[in-house]
Amino acid sequence: MKFKHIDKKVVYKNDHFEISQEKLILPGGKEVWWSFIEGVDAVGILALTDDNKVILVKQYRPAVQDFVLEIPAGLIEPGESPEETAYRELEEEAGYRAESMEKIYEYYSSPGISKSKTHIFLAKSLVKTKQSLDDDEFLEIIEASFEEVQTLSLVDGKSILAIKHLEILGTPSLREK
């Protein structure tokens, strides 16, 4: 089964993503136009305090017109590795520096329309520092036990996956430094 990419045109572009249309020939020979969003890769950080609290941020998300509870996260800057972004974003958003940062997985956020990836890290041995929010960031830090997190209404995909990771592996093995 082979798809053939024939032509591509960018229909919109800004600092965070571009929308393009691409002409493809499908395996059956039919010619179609598909739309894609080319975005910046991102990180999410599952941060655990020494007393086994999960660090979450609560922030207003204009796209859904509501406040959303999420793990700390952010976009990877040009020239920055996913791990460097994870360290930076955890400190900027949550005001914690991690002594240990381990990549636990990566995934395509929406492979039907984008090749953007989200990289999820586990941060442990946290040291409290100070938040350093961007001008457009307004968020509240919430520290919740694993049991409390399970009762929260999480609607953010990266956060749900990270918490499921805790459920599958169990919190005792994650507490080890």
**Residues 84-108 pLDDT 10s:** 999 999 999 999 999 999 999 999 9
Which conformational region is residue 79 in: left (phi greater than 0), alpha (psi within -120 to 50 degrees), or beta?
A: left
CA-CA distance, 2 to 8, in Å (whole number)?
Answer: 18
Integer-rounded Cα Rg, in Å, for the chain is 19
Q: 40-175 — its CATH code?
A: 3.90.79.10
pTM: 0.88
Distances (CA, A) of 126 to 19, 56, 157: 38, 14, 24
Q: Strand order in 117-128's β-sheet?
A: 73-75, 42-47, 117-128, 96-108
Mean pLDDT check: name the lowest of 68-77, 109-118, 134-143, 155-164.
Answer: 134-143
Tracing tokens 């999820």 back to the chain, one arrives at 120
Q: According to CATH, where is 3.90.79.10 located in the chain?
A: 40-175
Q: What is the pLDDT of residue 147?
A: 86
Residue 22 in this model has a pLDDT that exceeds 90: yes
- Write out pLDDT tens, residues 33-66: 999 999 899 999 999 999 989 999 999 999 999 9
